[in-house]
A and B are shown apart, each in its own frame.
Chain A
Amino acid sequence: MNLSEFDSACLAGDLGEASQFAMSILVRIGEIQSASEMIDITRAHIDSTLFQGDATLEFAEKLAHMDAKVVVPTTLNVSGVDEHGWQDWAVPPEWAEKAHRQMIAYQSMGTEATWTCAPYQVSEKPSFGEQIAWGESNAVAFANSVLGARTIQYPDLLDVCAAITGRVPAVGLHLNENRAGEILLKLIDIPEDLQTDDSFAPVLGHLLGTIADDRVPVVEGLTVELAEDHLKAICAGGASSGAVHLFHIVGQTPEALTLAEAFQGHEPTEVHDINLRDLRRIRSELDSSQGKSLDMVVLGSPHFSFAEFRKLAPMLEGQQCHTGVDFLVTSSRAMVKLAREAGMLDTLEAFGGKVTVDTCILTTPMLFPETRHLMTNSAKYAYYSPGLLDAEVAFGSMADCVRSAISGRVQTNNSLWDS
């Protein structure tokens, strides 16, 4: 790999111990990836913030002790603890203390304390064509697919190295030729009222990941323009069931004004026709519930947006959550602040709901052991909860989730899916 003068100076330790450490790791990974050179990035999003145990803490504190500082605007992904709310849940104090130390370590590096898996909601969005280094799979898919920015999926530990040096190996989706569509998914006769329902996008995302795996899928046949939250849901679904870091939607996403542009003039290597029956089958894969029992409704993976709070609040107005059900929204500080100012948090709390910030049910051990039956409208929660939390998950729309929280039993209205 050709190194610039700057890269070599970093490696030699001229810019300090942290830059040297970070560059040595970047260069080793660049060599493994067969990169020919390194390029500049102008933004980073650090997923290394997730506390996974002593190793991630020791890594963060090692960098902090080297006085590591980021050299590009850098947002932080979720942490391992809601530092103000963890006492209400099952989080062990030792976990909270260590996860909080890890937060302090990353904050000390000159980063923006966003603590969210949806940085595109709370910070300036990267622009089209901008080279960035983002971790967190849904955010990577969003940056590439929805914004047209350029990032590979940075693993934990490497994203912070990129932020400290402002340099990354020039590989994968950083390069134009790797951004062409590879396979085509043609949606056939999907009703428009289903396309606009919030249960549709997570299922479409789960389908993309299942079929595409790590290839770039192109979706044709959507007749409704998807809202940002629906695009977010596709990203989360596709990056959970598969390794989808970039997808194109013909006529909607910025590198796919036409089918030909999405494929950069090439032919698709595979074409899949997808009808409503296929989508129903895929939807059933997201649902691991065995019956109607319900302990908790959880919304907000990726983190709940202000638009979602605005949609949810009227559904909760004048209603009461069942006493046997917890109702939780996971979101960011910034979105919760907006919701509070708009009075929506009062509505949520009057309903009997709670909010957790900075983290989520998958990244902090907050759930009590008796919480076994979950319901969500998130493909990501539905995908990961069985393995990570040993919980059953019912999948439905936001309205289904609210209806079920009120009645205390899983209730889904499938009429849109049955037409």
Chain B
Amino acid sequence: MGDFIQGKTLVEGKATGPALWSDKPLSFWGGYDQNTGEIIDRRHPLVGHIGANRIIAIPHTKGSSTSTAVLLEAVRRGKSPAAIITTGVASFLALASIVANELYDISFPVLMVDEDDFDKLESADWVSISDDGVIEIGADPQPTSPS
């Protein structure tokens, strides 16, 4: 039984998967490879990690207006994060999910949490998100499976 956090739902949905956490903001344009889901900003602590189908927790996105387009393309290619958790109002990221739903009938949940709760996610291996914005922090249910 893990810890529970109540998030504020910006875009609703369910998700479960391994967590990727950083307290450094990330620009998806120039920071996230839409074809592979890899984080490619060499200045970012998560560089080299795969964000596709994982639950990414970052304070907010920064930089380019094109971050939304990168995420939309990533959704189209099945390489978007399973969910995104931020501390700020992540309208750029939420927009990608909203438009993806309009164009492709696929969306990913986007949640906002307060800073103390955000810090609790640092040590999370595995995160589950429910429709009502409850985030469960747990251990990887299949720790030996290849990632």
Chain A residues near B (Cβ < 8 Å) = 21, 25, 28-29, 32-34, 47-48, 50, 52-56, 58-59, 62, 135-137, 140, 153-159, 213-214, 239-240, 242-243, 288, 362, 383-384, 386-388
List chain A residues, Cβ under 8 A from B94.
29, 32
Q: How far is the CB of B131 from chain A (nearest CB, A)?
A: 17
Task: Supply 4 further A-B pairs (C-beta < 8 A) apart from A52-B34, A53-B34.
Answer: A62-B103, A155-B92, A157-B99, A386-B42
Are the CB atoms of A32 and B89 closer together than 8 Å?
yes
Per the bound structure, the CA–CA distance linking A32 and B92 in Å amounts to 11
List chain B residues, Cβ under 8 A from A28.
98
Q: How far is the CB of B112 from chain A (nearest CB, A)?
A: 9
Q: Which of these, B31, B66, B96, contacts A47 with CB under 8 Å?
A: B66
List chain A residues, Cβ under 8 A from B11.
32
Using known A-B contacts A29-B95, A387-B31, A387-B42, determine if residue A55 contacts B65 with beta carbons closer than 8 Å.
no
List chain A residues, Cβ under 8 A from B61.
243
B45 close to A (CB within 8 Å) = no
B14 close to A (CB within 8 Å) = no
B117 close to A (CB within 8 Å) = no
Between-chain CB contacts (< 8 Å), 16 pairs: A28-B98, A29-B91, A29-B95, A34-B89, A47-B66, A50-B69, A53-B76, A55-B72, A55-B76, A135-B65, A137-B64, A155-B92, A156-B66, A156-B67, A157-B95, A383-B30
Are the CB atoms of B73 and A55 closer together than 8 Å?
yes
Q: Which of B41, B64, B96, B103 has the most chain A CB atoms closer than 10 A to its own CB?
A: B64
Per the bound structure, the CA–CA distance linking A28 and B97 in Å amounts to 11
Using known A-B contacts A29-B98, A214-B88, A384-B30, determine if residue A55 contacts B63 with beta carbons closer than 8 Å.
no
List chain A residues, Cβ under 8 A from B116.
none
Q: How far is the CB of A240 from chain B (nearest CB, A)?
A: 6
Q: How far is the CB of B79 from chain A (nearest CB, A)?
A: 11
Per the bound structure, the CA–CA distance linking A341 and B69 in Å amounts to 37
Q: How far is the CB of B90 from chain A (nearest CB, A)?
A: 8
Are the CB atoms of B91 and A155 closer together than 8 Å?
yes
Are the CB atoms of B30 and A387 closer together than 8 Å?
yes
Using known A-B contacts A33-B89, A243-B63, A362-B30, determine if residue A48 contacts B69 with beta carbons closer than 8 Å.
yes
Q: Which residue of A lies closest to B96 (CB)?
A: A157
Per the bound structure, the CA–CA distance linking A28 and B107 in Å amounts to 14
Are the CB atoms of B103 and A214 closer together than 8 Å?
no
Are the CB atoms of B69 and A239 closer together than 8 Å?
no
Per the bound structure, the CA–CA distance linking A136 and B88 in Å amounts to 20
Q: How far is the CB of A281 from chain B (nearest CB, A)?
A: 15
Q: Which residue of B lies closest to A48 (CB)?
A: B69
Per the bound structure, the CA–CA distance linking A29 and B10 in Å amounts to 9
B68 close to A (CB within 8 Å) = yes
Are the CB atoms of B73 and A32 closer together than 8 Å?
no
Q: Which residue of A lies closest to B40 (CB)?
A: A387
Digit string of B38-53 for contact with A (CB within 8 Å is 1, else 0)? Answer: 0011100000000000
List chain A residues, Cβ under 8 A from B72.
52, 55-56, 59, 157
Are the CB atoms of A214 and B30 closer together than 8 Å?
no
List chain B residues, Cβ under 8 A from A33.
89, 91
Q: Which residue of B lies closest to A21 (CB)?
A: B102
Q: Which of A50, A53, A288, A386 has the most chain B CB atoms closer than 10 A to its own CB?
A: A53
Per the bound structure, the CA–CA distance linking A62 and B68 in Å amounts to 17
List chain B residues, Cβ under 8 A from A56.
69, 72-73
Top 9 A-B pairs ranked by shortest CB distance? A155-B68, A243-B62, A53-B73, A156-B69, A135-B65, A47-B65, A55-B73, A155-B92, A52-B69
Using known A-B contacts A32-B94, A387-B41, determine if residue A156 contacts B30 with beta carbons closer than 8 Å.
no
List chain A residues, Cβ under 8 A from B129.
none
Q: Which of these, B62, B68, B88, B89, contacts A242 with CB under 8 Å?
A: B62
Are the CB atoms of B91 and A58 closer together than 8 Å?
no
Are the CB atoms of B95 and A155 closer together than 8 Å?
yes
Q: How far is the CB of B18 from chain A (nearest CB, A)?
A: 23
List chain A residues, Cβ under 8 A from B113.
none
